[in-house]
Amino acid sequence: MSTLLEVRHVSRSFHTTTAVDDISFAVQPGELLGLIGPNGAGKSTLFNLIAGVLPPSAGQILFDGKPVTGWKSHDIARIGIARTFQIPKPYRQLSVVENVMLSAFLREKSLAGARKLAETTLADVGLADYSGAPANSLTVGLLKRLEVARALAMRPKLVLFDEIMAGLTPTEVGVMTGFVAGLPARGITVIWVEHVLYAIMKTATRMVVINRGKLIAEGAPAVMARDPAVVKAYLGEEMVLA
């Protein structure tokens, strides 16, 4: 099977600090890759490099074997990489279904077609009842679902989830975890950045751990939890392992 996403020796520095330092890893189709690390490890920067929000200072990113290094985020979106935002960024003045339609336009050019795809996706994440509601009336938990719906309505090959569990109640976390775990079976590869570790430990097929901008460990979740480098990186942080 050919590699879906390949990150090759990617670095990114801001002024004098290096947020991402020579990181390489690859993602195979059908994987659910957990990307974790303590606060300030460089997760967000790495995420933004893949999503095209920032260009890397050095290194290469390949998607489906094609170099996409330095592409703008709207071009990244068009080749099949979807993302969510850690702090939800809804179109506040639009209704929930219109929010999702904007993503659906990538696959369905007509208004009616996009609306249909959006409604299906909303039903999928449990927001069907809210379809006509203004996005600014949703609670944080529902906004996170809207983020997920918007990403999935793009029918992406790869989806990047950025802390979709933060701010959710334990029940909601459970439901959402189950949902994400089902995505690879539907042909959607997942990279999942998460601070709520127990959720990701249960579901990820593989983990990449970074600290201080460097990749420090890579492997199965159960192995990672016992890896001395990982445990050391998390020392002094509350490590929530279920």
Partner 1 sequence: MSIAIPASISSRRIPVLPKRGQISWFEIVLLVISLGLVVSGIAPSLQDVILLSFLFAGLGLAWNIAGGYAGLISFGHSAFFGVGAYTSTILLLRYDISPWIGIWVGALIAAVFGSILALICARLRGPFFILSTLAFAEVVRIGALNWSSLTGGPEGLSIPPMASLAGMVFASKATYAALMLGYLVFVYGITKGLEASRFGYYLFAIRDNDDAASAAGVNPLLGRTAAMALSAALTGVGGSLFAQYFLYLDPTYVISPELSFQFALLPAVGGLGTAIGPVLGSFLITPLSELLRSHLGNAAAGLHLVIYSFGLIVVMLYFPAGLAGALNKLTRWKPFS
Query: Which lies closer to partner 1 via its Cβ, residue 24 or residue 137?
Result: 137
- Could you please report the per-residue DSSP string of 169-231? -HHHHHHHHHHHHTTGGGT-EEEEE-S-HHHHHHH-SEEEEEETTEEEEEE-HHHHHH-HHHH
Both structure tokens of 242:
């279920």
Q: Applying CB under 8 A, which residues contact partner 1?
A: 51, 53, 72-74, 77-78, 82-83, 85, 89-95, 98, 101-103, 105-106, 109, 111, 114, 123-127, 129-130, 132-134, 137, 139, 142, 145, 150, 154, 171, 175-176, 178-179, 182
CB of 67 to partner 1, least distance (A): 19
CB of 93 to partner 1, least distance (A): 6
Q: CA geometry: angle at 179 spanning 173 and 181, to 5°?
A: 100
What is the spatial distance between Cα 132 and Cα 140, in angstroms, rounded to a whole number?
Answer: 17
What is the spatial distance between Cα 231 and Cα 240, in angstroms, rounded to a whole number?
Answer: 12
Query: Which lies closer to partner 1 via its Cβ, residue 19 or residue 127?
Result: 127
Give, in order, the Cα–Cα distances in Å from 171 to each of 84, 175, 176, 178.
21, 6, 9, 11
Query: Which lies closer to partner 1 via its Cβ, residue 49 or residue 233?
Result: 49
CB of 83 to partner 1, least distance (A): 5
CB of 225 to partner 1, least distance (A): 27
Query: Which lies closer to partner 1 via its Cβ, residue 112 or residue 242?
Result: 112
Is the CB of residue 161 less than 8 Å from the CB of residue 195? no
CB of 193 to partner 1, least distance (A): 15
Query: Which lies closer to partner 1 via its Cβ, residue 29 or residue 126?
Result: 126
